[in-house]
Amino acid sequence: MSHSDWSRRMTPFRSVILALIASETFDDGYAHRASLWTYPPACCNGTDVGGDCERIPGGTVKKGRLGFSVVLHPGDHHLVTTEHRFLIPYGGEIPSGASDFHICLHPNEYHVNCFFAPADGY
């Protein structure tokens, strides 16, 4: 096999490898990960360490007549410095990629950018 034949056969493989490398390289810059899934880029602002999205304890969320009631205390989310109460109307939640709740606070701890709930709501 000549060098040009070998090069022609390897081109598709190189394209796939480069695409995989590029997707891994750029993925974390736009949307950080929540253990096994990735937050949508419109929800997160930051990285895995300093981002504004994070899993929250299930006990901080209650289902009510109007939606999800979320009460966060310092320690429930790394951005929270004082108690916060949020009401997320039903239909305003995003399906969680895991079996727990996640919340994105942006531009600061007083605003919910995105709220993720498990498929069963608990």
Burial call 44-56: b when 16+ CB within 10 Å, e when fewer: bbeeeeebbbbbb
Token digits of residue 100: 């727990």
Distance CA 68, CA 88 (A): 5
The residue ranges of every structural domain in the chain are 33-117
Name which of 70, 73, 74 is nearest 88 in CA terms. Answer: 70
> What's the N-to-C CA distance of the chain in angstroms?
60
The predicted pLDDT at position 35 comes to 59
Q: What is the pTM of this model?
A: 0.70
pLDDT in tens, 49-67: 678 999 999 999 999 999 9
**Which comes out higher in pLDDT, residue 34 or 19?**
34
